[in-house]
Amino acid sequence: MSAVAHDAGGPGEPRHGVRIATIWAVATAVCVPLMIWVVGPHIPPYNGSLQTKEQHDVNVTLASLAVPILLMIWVYFGYSIAVFRQRGTVIVDGPPDTGEPRIQVLWVAVTSVLVLGLAIYGTIGLLGASKGAGGGQGPNPLVKPENANKILQVQVIGQQWLWTYRFPQYGGVETPNLELPVNEWVAFNVTSLDVIHSFWAYELGVKADAVPGSNNIAYAKPLRLESFQVRCAELCGIWHGHMNMVGQVVTKAQFASWIASQDRKYAGVTKYLPPYAPYYYPVPLRRG
Amino acid sequence: MARRVALTGSVAIVLIAAVLFYLLDFLFTAPPAISAVISGGEAHLTLQTVPSYGHAPDPDWVSYLAKDQDGHWVHTTIYKVPAHTLVTVTVYQYDTATGLRNPFLGQVRGTVGGVATYNGKVLSVLDPNDASHTFTVPDLGISVALPGVNNNAPNQCSAAPCPLSEAHTTITFSFMSPGPGTYRWQCFVPCAAGFYLGNGGPMQTLGWMDGEIEVT
């Protein structure tokens, strides 16, 4: 038998648990503030909208909560490798595990509290100020901004392989460009004319599946004058990887000017568009 | 035991080779590139769209063709044009109308003057129901819908390349090429007969109704 096996729990044995807990507490006290104040500001998706702000806060919170757990594993492993490693040339078994009900109960209790706490935290986030956290809520959203029917409505139309946008409050004009007013709530009514796409406005924190025959509503409130990327996040065919465009958050006055220019520019084709509807079953499908 | 290992190894090698061959074939097989004809400091592309290619490997697929420097029709959708140059495109369109799934694409966009010439008539919007195909370069904001020939027109083309003596419409438009780069283009009419929503087969395959413009 090795010295470790003989001495386990003996009178000369150091208090390993206290040592591990102390190292872990010190490392946690150092690393958690670093995660919050040094790494945290660089964790996406930043603060382009109310939704991304909340997503960013959630990411920082989760990362900060994960740090003590990660450190516990690393410290325990590191300590075990350094202190409990097999010495000498003879390989022998260590002392048998006998089970420790208190630790087991503590483990289940702590992890349960963590998981349930995060579930409650996430639910509050979803139902709170961000009104769905930028996710598609289907045709009947559970949470809406105040006066949801009066905020800017933007219909996002996915098609292989292009995004176009209709503005029902501005004569139903359709355009391949997207500008949005800053500090104003926007309702994205996302649909598709063919297969399933996914509207992902990264800097706005919006992601909603574009499903044919369905109106998937997501809300966002842009907070900064900046450009934002739109991508398709659902594999949709040969040009899926090119289904990108860049939108712009502008002032309210600039938006009014822009939407008026789009109305003039596309007046000729607007008369051919179907009446605005939550989704379309377009004809012709003769070929198909 | 050794025989079993050898057999398993052989089958594994064959399968891996087949997968690699498929991947390499997919990555490195592409239609030939056709350079625009340069004259007077301008670039000219001459294209045709046909309702059915008429030859192997997919004789019933709808397709674009392009004219090379020698005036021969080539089955390709990869075009080379010089940067920052006026490019004039002439399309001889031999297919009948299918109509646009999204009527918005009837709008002519990104061309000089925002117009295209349809059989000699200058228009900025084509009735979406009359569209047979489109020539659309989304990243450059260029889109021109191409009107179909009348369903009852005599002398309709059935195999590429189609001669000018057969029923067709002629569309011309010009655009300024951007800086160097590769820009995808595609047709936005669901014109792939026999495929789900008309968007499979030739609509998803380079060399048929999708292609690239290489600006050099």
pLDDT in tens, A140-167: 999 999 999 899 999 999 999 999 999 9
Interface of A with B (CB under 8 A): 157, 159-162, 164, 174, 176, 193-195, 237-239, 242, 245, 266, 268-269, 272-274, 282-288
Domain residue ranges in chain A:
13-86+108-127, 148-287
Question: Is there a contact between A288 and B206 if contact means CB atoms under 8 Å apart?
Answer: no
The residues with which B93 forms a beta bridge, in sequence order, are: B49, B169
Cβ pair A229, A253 in contact under 8 A: no
Residue B193 contacts A, CB cutoff 8 Å: yes
Considering only residues A98 and A225, tell me which one the structure prediction assigns the higher pLDDT. A225
Kindly report which listed range (A34-48, A173-187, A273-287, B96-110) carries the lowest average pLDDT score: A273-287
Residue A10 has a pLDDT of 65
Question: Is there a contact between B198 and A176 if contact means CB atoms under 8 Å apart?
Answer: no
Is the pLDDT at A38 greater than 50, yes or no? yes
Matching CATH number, B32-215, of 1.25.40.10, 3.40.140.10, 2.60.40.420, 1.10.3720.10: 2.60.40.420
Residue A272: closest CA among chain B residues belongs to which residue? B103
Best of B199, B205, B213 to mutate (most A CBs within 10 Å, chain A): B199
Residue B206: closest CA among chain A residues belongs to which residue? A238
Is the pLDDT at A47 greater than 90, yes or no? no
Residue B211 has a pLDDT of 95
Cβ pair A206, A134 in contact under 8 A: yes
User: Looking at this predicted complex, what is its ipTM?
Assistant: 0.88
Q: Give residue A3's pLDDT band: very low, low, confident or very high (50, 70, 90).
A: very low
Residues of B in contact with A239 (CB under 8 A): 184, 186, 210
Q: What's the rounded mean pLDDT across residues A66-78? A: 95
Domain residue ranges in chain B:
1-30, 32-215
pLDDT in tens, A215-252: 999 999 999 999 999 999 999 999 999 999 999 999 99
Question: Is there a contact between A195 and B205 if contact means CB atoms under 8 Å apart?
Answer: no
How does the average pLDDT of chain A come out, rounded?
Answer: 91
SS (H, E, C) chain B: CHHHHHHHHHHHHHHHHHHHHHHHHHHHCCCCEEECEEECCEEEEEEEEECCCCCCCCCCCCEEEEECCCCCEECCCEEEECCCCEEEEEEEECCECCCCCCHHHHECECCHHHCEEECCEEECECCHHHEEEEEEEHHHCEEEEEECECCCCCCCCCCCCCCCCCCCEEEEEEEECCCCEEEEEECCCCCCCCCHHHCCHHHHCECCCEEEEEEC
Residue B194 has a pLDDT of 84
Residues of B in contact with A288 (CB under 8 A): 190, 192, 195-199
Q: What is the mean pLDDT of each run of 10 residues along chain B (216 residues)?
A: 89 95 84 93 96 92 95 96 97 93 95 95 95 95 95 91 95 97 95 85 93 96
Residue B199: closest CA among chain A residues belongs to which residue? A288
Residue B71 has a pLDDT of 93
Question: Is there a contact between A287 and B98 if contact means CB atoms under 8 Å apart?
Answer: yes
Q: What's the rounded mean pLDDT across residues A263-286? A: 86
**Nearest CA to CA, how far is A58 from chain B (Å)?**
35
Residue A1 has a pLDDT of 37
Question: Is there a contact between A288 and B192 if contact means CB atoms under 8 Å apart?
Answer: yes
Residue B122 has a pLDDT of 96
What CATH number does the domain located at A148-287 have? 2.60.40.420
